[in-house]
Structure 1
Amino acid sequence: MQHVRLPHRRGGALLALLLALLSVTSVTSAAAAAPPGPRPRTPDGPVVGTDHGPVRGRSHGTYATYEGIPYAAPPTGPLRWRAPQPARPWEGVRDAGAPGPKCLQLPVFGTGPATGSEDCLYLNVTTPAGRAPARGRPVMVWVHGGGFTGGSGGEYAAGRMAARGDAVVVTLNYRLGALGFFGHPELGDAPSFGLADQQAALRWVRANAARFGGDPRNVTLFGESAGAISTCAQLTSPTAAGLFHKAVLQSGSCNTAFPRGAVVPGTPGAGFFEPQKTVQAAGAAAAGRLGCPEGPGALDCLRGLSAEKLITPELSQAFGKPAYGNALLPEAPARALAAGRFHRVPVIQGTNSDEMRLFVGMNLGAYPLRDAHDYRARLTDSFGAAADAVGAEYPLSAYPTPALAWSALLTDATFACSAFRADRALAAHVATYAYEFADRDAPVVQGVPTVPGFPYGASHAFELAYLFSAFPLQKPLDEAQVALSDRMTDYWTRFARTGDPNGAGAPHWPLFRDRGPFTQSLAPGADGIRPVGFGAAHHCAFWEKQRQG
């Protein structure tokens, strides 16, 4: 059996690497995408005029795709570390038959050169076949995950969602790592460029959705992992006002944070946002290490470096989180959410029942959890004086193995209870629908190693194959899982259409309340979709006491 060992990185780099493991679920066609610029005309394919010029897509029977459309100018040369600028119009019909290059990023596993391109601000549009209704179809804008250091929009095939749900689906790239989340004193309080890119894509959608049969007044922003954290950040961003009208957060929220030593013993605990001044100081220090002078001129020097010199493990460690304390994020998103300072739009938010099994299982070879001694050592490393209390809340006698016990408590501490706390904050002001993806026989993605005695269950990112096509699974969805996939797609697209996931023939999904069974369990079988009591099942009262204590 081959184990994947996570490097012993500190703080933000570990978080970025953990969530970048999501990339193992992605199709890899974007990595070999054609270079940008107009391509030769093809003899067939639907043509749509955008505000920058016409594009020729591809028809796939029940849906059509238009890929590799620039929504902003290439952020290269003098535009590196600047707000996204308008794309240049083109003459003639631009071929939109393949995704644009993914943003520059390091491989998730092992070592190797960066792949992708600094010229990467492209998006993809998928539309149902047939004439759109006069009011336009709902528009769903997907923000990919990958720990803010990996992934791309082109990895997510949305044809099934668009056709079944009669929705226009847009997937996008945004700048990553040190190219997307860099800070420096010379940049002042410039927002994180990756989040600014997402807003630029939303402005493109507002200007062009109707041309693709979509309703620009009915836009749902949705994402998973770092994409969900991004979506939550946009909920609290004043500069995102009016750019979307509903939100879906899958396995990530404004307050998601890993405890110390979550997967690698000794690594500090951390969340996913940094104060602006912290990021600026990190940028000044990085400039010196890269041979650029202190003071005026450092930024010009840094812009003169090759992009590949900026996408390194060290710089991904320093610049893998959005900054707050700027016009886009004036305050920490978790604080804004708790205080009710967010856009008043309906929200779906949820997690998977076994989120952390993916990260723990893939790393058991390097950091084993064999017995009570190993379990106790991890508890002490992560929770210090609270280790006895955590161990009593999660006794080994309640779990088949120490590794599954550790995964359960990390799932609750990291994902489940942060989402539950966010649900309560959201539901105080807007219609909120909470879910838990709970198919514990969900197919494992190809490339994830089998670990004897350690089922992955409903782990991080495993719900994605139920919403998007073309994921390389170790086994296909069975009949009951296909039915669940259909139901989830219906819920998501009905919510995008009306702000309410409920509809004829579907099990009722109640609005969230913090007491009682108001979280919708999503699992196969006759009784698989039903409201459950989420907070108690995930020990959230215990974790809230630890957080406050």
Structure 2
Amino acid sequence: MSRILFPFLFVMVLILSLQAEEHIEHQHVSVSLEPEPVVTTTSSQNPISTPTTTSESVTETNSEETDENPLIVDISTGKIEGQELKTVDQKKPYYAFQGIPYAKPPVGELRFMEPVPAETWNYTMKTVKDGPMCVQLLSTSGSEDCLYLNVYSPKTKNEEKLPVMVWIYGEAFVGGSSKMEKFGPDYFLEQDVILVSFNYRTGVFGFLSTGDYAATGNWGLKDQILALNWVQQNIEKFGGDSKDVTLFGQSAGAACVSILIESPLARGLFHKAIMQSGTSLNSWAHSQNAKKSVYAMAQLLDINTSNTNELVEHLRKVDYRTLHMVSVSTGLAELLTHNALSGLIFAPCIEVNHPGAVLTNFSHSIMKNGDFSRIPVMVGFNSEEGARGVDMLTFLKPYVASYDLFSTRLVPASLNIERSLQKIVAAQLIRMKYFGLMPIRLSNKNLIGFITDDQFVRPIYEYIKQCSKYTPTYFYIFSYEGALGVKGENREPTGVGHSEENHYLWNQEDNIENAPIEDILTRQRLIRLWTNFAKTGYPTPENDALLQNVTWPPTNFQTMVYLNITKNLELGTNVEKYNIQFWDHIFQRFGNPPYDTY
């Protein structure tokens, strides 16, 4: 591993642990700045040029094709053949179609462009394995040719169309995938819903922006919109109801859900939404210094032009491995010289106004004015989101120490404070509230509390508050400290950390075996709440012994009632732990609206 990248990896792992997502152990970490052989990227599925393919997930089949065969589905681009599997708990049979191409490979001239729908094919495509994942931040694996989706449908005699749930994974907009080993759909399918998951571009390939028409950005979000259009066109072929689609995601995936609720381009493509530990108001949900980062990359690549159109054309011709590593190096420089708490480099951005723009206004303004799809939503967070990063703090003492030297880094950039003196005063108030006189670098517990409040709870709470003024909004806090959430390891510190709920919702290959009965009960409750909402728009539509006959009402901006999901299901309104009133005071005293995040 390159010494140049070593500190960057630690900083990014902390950000991944605290702000975004999932499990680094799912990826093989092997990053080097040494040049690699140039490999020409080609589509693994090109039915126009040849009926064969190099992708493991898609091969030609000579299976008998009959109208009665539920494993063969004739979608808008051609026939596909899936496989029959059984769920892990109840052994219910279901149909799995994996690695379905929904877009042309975004390579060559299609890099940094809106996705183009997949071409048609004239044979039956075997779709029984995951498609290639997109390029990953901390791994040499991944491909630009990665725009594939999966459809999982229960085997049922019910002739009625089934509700559809579409999942968007997180991972700080720099990685992640829809692989079954990480997001096995078993528990959802046992509740008779159809589950769709897909890959989308991340990192420099998904979110590079020049801030003008040369590269408007948000390519990953545009992939998501194309995938949702695919669902509208095809899901009824799998027994799904195209008029009953619930979009849900976690962390960066939840922020994407939130942005799509705000985007005119996604209107009507889904009808309910669930956001776990992320919204468009989180600071990390929007990019910082996007255009500056593009020019920094160009300098490292010896591209000398101030014309953004020429610059982007040059970047399209760079080998994807080289471009990826240069973007990582640029990220290192940004993190060492700027405030990592103020946003990520490659993330969603506000675009110049053009017909294909996903977002052209500040998210806070959109939510405050009610200018979004007014669909039922379920939004929440885990009780101690920052706890996931505690193991990394020991290694990051030098970086954390910078907050002792430059305490103004504690001040949210979204406050838009222009006067230095005001920023210093705000910083001292924040520092005293969370750390008192103790050095920040020696205050792991307090730092975790600050990260939880600043990076997650404050913006999510504000989102819920604004959203509830216009549409049914169900607010939850996940507080159950089970063994599943920490994979059987000791829980230190206490509290439910970032992404722990995913171990309950999904059949993951690294989930512990023989989980405690309380964990299984909590899993069943989460799945029931999530699928009830997908089916009816209400998480508790009727009395249910599994849910302790609780009626979970929609919240409102005055009472902010929430469901506390712990060993029992309890309604509450007390959020004093998260210092909401303190932050309200900070924004009222120092803030200069309009805010982009909160």
Q: Do the structures match in fold with TM over 0.5?
A: yes
Selected match of 1:241 from 245, 267, 273: 267
1:339 CA drift (Å): 2.4
Question: What is the number of residues matched between the two proteins?
Answer: 509
Give distance in 1, aligned partners of 2:222 and 2:274. 19
1:55 CA drift (Å): 1.4
Matched position secondary structure for 1:283: helix
Matched position secondary structure for 2:294: helix
Residue 227, structure 1, aligned to residue 253, structure 2: yes
Match of 1:279 in 2: 290
Give distance in 2, aligned partners of 1:375 and 1:486. 42
1:334 CA drift (Å): 2.7
Match of 2:593 in 1: none
Matches within 5 A, 1:259-338: 271-274=284-287, 279-294=290-305, 295=307, 297-312=310-325, 313-316=328-331, 319-326=345-352, 327-338=357-368
- The answer on whether the counterparts of 1:13 and 1:316 sit within 8 Å (CA) in structure 2 is no
Give distance in 1, aligned partners of 2:253 and 2:467. 18
Pick which of 202-211 and 39-48 moved more: 39-48
Residue 196, structure 1, aligned to residue 222, structure 2: yes
1:302 CA drift (Å): 1.6
Matched position secondary structure for 1:422: helix
**What 5-or-longer segments of structure 1 have no aligned partner?**
108-112, 258-270
1:386 CA drift (Å): 4.2
**Structure 1 pair 18–213 and aligned structure 2 pair: CA distance change class (3 A):** same
Q: Aligned partner of 2:282: which letter? A: T
Matched position secondary structure for 2:254: helix
Residue 492, structure 1, aligned to residue 540, structure 2: no
Match of 1:264 in 2: none
Give distance in 1, aligned partners of 2:10 and 2:179. 30
**Structure 1 pair 36–316 and aligned structure 2 pair: CA distance change class (3 A):** farther
Structure 1, residues 444-481: CA drift from partner, whole Å, max 9, x if none?
556x9868xx3353100000011111241456531111
**Structure 1 pair 27–470 and aligned structure 2 pair: CA distance change class (3 A):** farther
1:6 CA drift (Å): 8.2
Structure 1, residues 181-223: CA drift from partner, whole Å, max 9, x if none?
1123774363410000000000000001101111001111110
Pick which of 298-307 and 489-498 moved more: 298-307
- The answer on whether the counterparts of 2:485 and 2:500 sit within 8 Å (CA) in structure 1 is yes
1:16 CA drift (Å): 5.9
Residue 41, structure 1, aligned to residue 61, structure 2: yes
Match of 1:265 in 2: none
Residue 173, structure 1, aligned to residue 202, structure 2: no
Selected match of 1:83 from 104, 114, 126: 114
Give distance in 2, aligned partners of 1:37 and 1:171. 15
- The answer on whether the counterparts of 1:47 and 1:56 sit within 8 Å (CA) in structure 2 is yes
Q: Aligned partner of 1:314: which letter? A: S
TM-score of the aligned structures, taking structure 2 as reference length: 0.77
Residue 125, structure 1, aligned to residue 157, structure 2: no
Structure 1, residues 486-524: CA drift from partner, whole Å, max 9, x if none?
111111111111111113303221111244471111112
Residue identity (%):
28
Match of 1:382 in 2: 410
1:442 CA drift (Å): 4.3
Match of 2:387 in 1: 357
1:536 CA drift (Å): 2.5
Q: Aligned partner of 2:530: which letter? A: W
Give distance in 1, aligned partners of 2:347 and 2:118. 26
Structure 1, residues 248-293: CA drift from partner, whole Å, max 9, x if none?
1100011112xxxxxxxxxxxxx42148xx5345324423431234
Q: Aligned partner of 1:161: which letter? A: Y
Pick which of 346-355 and 178-187 moved more: 178-187
Residue 414, structure 1, aligned to residue 440, structure 2: no
**Structure 1 pair 324–185 and aligned structure 2 pair: CA distance change class (3 A):** closer
1:153 CA drift (Å): 1.3
Match of 2:232 in 1: 206
- The answer on whether the counterparts of 1:369 and 1:403 sit within 8 Å (CA) in structure 2 is no
- The answer on whether the counterparts of 1:434 and 1:512 sit within 8 Å (CA) in structure 2 is yes
Matches within 5 A, 1:11-22: 15=15, 18-22=18-22
Match of 2:570 in 1: 530
Match of 1:521 in 2: 564
Pick which of 528-537 and 169-178 moved more: 528-537
Match of 2:188 in 1: 162
Pick which of 314-323 and 352-361 moved more: 314-323
**Structure 1 pair 500–95 and aligned structure 2 pair: CA distance change class (3 A):** same
Matched position secondary structure for 1:322: coil
Matched position secondary structure for 1:202: helix
Give distance in 1, aligned partners of 2:410 and 2:489. 26
- The answer on whether the counterparts of 1:340 and 1:426 sit within 8 Å (CA) in structure 2 is yes
**Structure 1 pair 158–7 and aligned structure 2 pair: CA distance change class (3 A):** same
Selected match of 2:137 from 90, 94, 106: 106
Give distance in 2, aligned partners of 1:13 and 1:186. 31
Give distance in 2, aligned partners of 1:341 and 1:353. 30
Q: Aligned partner of 2:197: which letter? A: T
1:544 CA drift (Å): 1.7
Give distance in 2, aligned partners of 1:175 and 1:252. 19
**What 5-or-longer segments of structure 2 have no aligned partner?**
29-43, 45-53, 65-69, 87-91, 335-344, 412-423, 591-598
Pick which of 294-303 and 196-205 moved more: 294-303
**Structure 1 pair 14–128 and aligned structure 2 pair: CA distance change class (3 A):** same
Matched position secondary structure for 1:106: coil
1:97 CA drift (Å): 0.8
- The answer on whether the counterparts of 1:220 and 1:246 sit within 8 Å (CA) in structure 2 is yes
Match of 1:462 in 2: 500
Q: Aligned partner of 2:572: which letter? A: V
- The answer on whether the counterparts of 2:187 and 2:527 sit within 8 Å (CA) in structure 1 is yes
Match of 1:262 in 2: none
Matched position secondary structure for 2:166: strand
Match of 1:96 in 2: 127
Give distance in 2, aligned partners of 1:286 and 1:428. 43
Structure 1, residues 145-200: CA drift from partner, whole Å, max 9, x if none?
00000101125434323322211111111111111111237743634100000000
Match of 2:164 in 1: 139
Give distance in 2, aligned partners of 1:410 and 1:52. 46
TM-score of the aligned structures, taking structure 1 as reference length: 0.84
Q: Aligned partner of 1:196: which letter? A: K
1:131 CA drift (Å): 3.2
Match of 2:581 in 1: 541
Q: Aligned partner of 1:513: which letter? A: N
- The answer on whether the counterparts of 2:57 and 2:99 sit within 8 Å (CA) in structure 1 is no
